Amino acid sequence: MKMSFRAKRLERQNQRLAQASKLNLVALMDIFTILVFFLMVNQSEVKVLQSNKDISLPRSVSEQLPTEKVMLTITGNGILVQGKPVWQGDWQQDSSLWLPQLTQALTAELNYLASRAGALDETQQAVGRPLTILGDAATPYGLLRQLMAICAATEYRDLSLAVEALAPAKPEVP
């Protein structure tokens, strides 16, 4: 039997609609490209210092973001520079026993890092090389002061202390 014109048209339409729709990858690639650029631009807003699990940093409101500097970490039983153990010992003993060894080891490591970084220009000579100290909140002030003096003697005078940032207090509205 011969199909009517209407039946033929409906059959063609059903065949056309029965085909699987194709995924438009061009639009999908555009979305992912925009997402990648967005993430790359916004990733640089957050700075996180590598910290040791054993160290609980003091809490403070910090207005400056950390920058890439030499990291001096004070642990419960030693000193790390850039993650490399420089000295290990007991802080509880008399400082006359461990201070000369600490001074010699830390001075040697900081001088080595300074020689690898190159000479300071005129503007940096006044300020010194940058260094960040990560120390536990319970680190004795005397030890921190001695470490800062050792660092200052080796051209590392631009010292920063790492803290755990707290949200600044919101001003009260009357």
Q: What are 53-74's pLDDT values in tens digits?
A: 667 666 666 666 666 788 888 8
Largest CA distance in the chain: 112
Most confident of 37-41, 91-95, 100-104: 100-104
CA–CA gap between residue 58 and residue 145 (Å, rounded)? 16
pLDDT digits (tens, 9 = 90+) for 108-142: 999 999 888 888 888 888 888 889 888 887 788 88
Domain layout of the chain by residue ranges? 5-43, 59-165
Question: Residue 109 in contact with residue 84, Cβ under 8 Å?
Answer: yes
Percentage of the chain lying above the pLDDT 90 cut: 11
Which CATH architecture best describes the domain 59-165?
A: 2-Layer Sandwich (3.30)
CA–CA gap between residue 37 and residue 43 (Å, rounded)? 10
Question: Which pLDDT value is given to residue 61?
Answer: 67
Comparing 34-38, 63-67, 75-79, the range with the smallest average pLDDT is 63-67
Whether 45 shows a pLDDT value over 70: the answer reads no
Model pTM score = 0.62
